[in-house]
């Protein structure tokens, strides 16, 4: 995507029963994949294709997928020749989607049967609609919490909402194909749902509906999980040695957001230009300006954080000392 990219208005859905492409990325998912595929097959909305891309699993996942594709005509399975990693694996699966609407899926969740039907009927003119999730463990037991209890799920209206993080999970999304088509190529170092949500704000709102339609499984093999601690084992020991790497990645991420923000979104473009400058050059004046930028835009920048106003202000002030 170039700086001159200017998204066109979204097209109306062609009919009341558009094809929905469900895209599942798998890797060593034999333990839970059957429950997830069954929950997709049993959706009340039936006009779907299910695209599954396996990223060189070393367990029995590929054989399970082949069994499903032999049984169901609308399931298409692709087995990678080399391991791509989860971002590029999702990118590959999304590139195969032919539906007007696309629903990414993790390999280890369970969807409520009316998820797709409800989201379809409420997407309206939005580029994305997404819902809440209840948390379950590897035994299918709910812990009494929803994702919205941990992150601030909301309707996101500007690219600035995606400047330092996001909370709209890909597994909860229904996305218009025009948005996905604008996402290629996916950056290697930005999670796929983060990137999709950012691009979607060029077209309109990332619309949130305060209803649970997913049982979101938390277990030790999650790529991401709301219970995972940053850094993992020996994180304190690694913190110092990884600092420069984190700094470089933060600068790269902000530059990607700036370079891909359309010129016609002048307010957002100027914001990301300033942010990229302040991240790259840590001169004391730029540190001060970065704090001012965070303070001025804290509502938008931290829209995904469940924090009080005081904690948001303190976070902004700390940016004088923090590089990432």
Residue-level pLDDT, tens digit, the chain, 324 residues: 555 678 888 988 888 899 999 999 999 999 999 999 999 999 999 999 999 999 999 999 999 999 999 999 999 999 999 999 999 999 999 999 999 999 999 999 999 999 999 999 999 999 999 999 999 999 999 999 999 999 999 999 999 999 999 999 999 999 999 999 999 999 999 999 999 999 999 999 999 999 999 999 997 665 555 654 443 444 444 555 587 888 899 999 999 999 999 999 999 999 999 999 999 998 999 999 999 999 999 999 999 999 999 999 999 999 999 866
Q: Do residues 106 and 247 both lie within one domain?
A: no
pLDDT of residue 16: 86
Angle between helices 86-95 and 192-200 (to 10 degrees): 50
Q: Do residues 32 and 98 both lie within one domain?
A: yes
CATH (domain of 155): 3.90.550.10
Q: Do residues 48 and 185 both lie within one domain?
A: yes
**Residue 281 within a domain:** yes
Cβ–Cβ contacts within 10 Å for residue 139, how many? Answer: 7
Sign of CA dihedral 304, 306, 309, 311: negative
Q: Do residues 87 and 162 both lie within one domain?
A: yes
**Residue 227 within a domain:** no
Helix (H) / strand (E) containing 197:
helix 192-200
**Residue 229 within a domain:** no
pTM of the model as a whole: 0.93
Helix (H) / strand (E) containing 201:
none
Q: Do residues 145 and 100 both lie within one domain?
A: yes
Q: Is 322 helix (H, G, I), strand (E, B) or coil?
A: coil
pLDDT of residue 234: 46
Q: Do residues 263 and 205 both lie within one domain?
A: no
**Residue 225 within a domain:** no
pLDDT of residue 214: 98
Q: What is the mean pLDDT of the chain?
A: 93
By residue range, what is the domain housing residue 198? 20-217
Q: Do residues 247 and 291 both lie within one domain?
A: yes
**Residue 163 within a domain:** yes
**Residue 155 within a domain:** yes
Q: Do residues 176 and 95 both lie within one domain?
A: yes
Q: Can you say how many angstroms the Cα of residue 93 is from the centroid of all Cα atoms in its chain?
A: 15
Q: Do residues 212 and 243 both lie within one domain?
A: no
């Amino acid at each position: 995507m170039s700086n001159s990219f200017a998204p066109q208005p979204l097209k109306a859905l062609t009919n009341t029963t558009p094809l929905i492409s469900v895209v599942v990325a798998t890797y060593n998912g034999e333990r839970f994949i059957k429950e997830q595929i069954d929950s997709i097959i049993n959706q009340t909305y039936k006009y779907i294709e299910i695209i599954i891309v396996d990223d060189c699993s070393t367990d029995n996942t590929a054989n399970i997928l082949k069994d499903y594709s032999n049984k169901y005509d609308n399931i298409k399975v692709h087995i990678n020749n080399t391991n791509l990693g989860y971002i590029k694996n999702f990118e590959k699966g999304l590139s195969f989607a032919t539906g007007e609407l696309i629903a990414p899926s993790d390999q280890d969740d369970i969807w409520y049967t009316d998820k797709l039907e409800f989201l379809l009927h409420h997407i309206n003119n939005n580029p994305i609609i997404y819902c809440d999730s209840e948390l379950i463990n590897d035994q299918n037991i709910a812990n009494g919490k929803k994702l919205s209890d941990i992150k601030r799920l909301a309707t996101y209206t500007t690219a600035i909402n995606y400047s330092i993080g996001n909370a709209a999970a890909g597994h909860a999304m229904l996305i218009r194909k025009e948005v996905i088509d604008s996402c290629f190529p996916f950056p290697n170092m930005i999670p796929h749902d983060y990137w999709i949500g950012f691009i979607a704000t060029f077209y309109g709102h990332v619309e949130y509906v305060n209803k649970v339609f997913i049982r979101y499984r938390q277990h030790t093999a999650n790529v991401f999980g709301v219970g995972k601690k940053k850094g993992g084992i020996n994180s304190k020991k690694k913190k110092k040695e990884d600092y420069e790497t984190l700094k470089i990645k933060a600068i790269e991420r902000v530059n990607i957001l700036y370079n891909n923000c359309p010129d016609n979104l002048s307010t957002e473009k100027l914001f990301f230009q300033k942010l990229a400058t302040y991240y790259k050059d840590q001169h004391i004046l730029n540190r001060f300006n970065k704090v001012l930028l965070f303070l001025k835009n804290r509502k938008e920048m931290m829209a995904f954080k469940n924090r009080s106003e005081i904690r948001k202000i303190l976070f902004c002030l700390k940016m004088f000392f923090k590089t990432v």
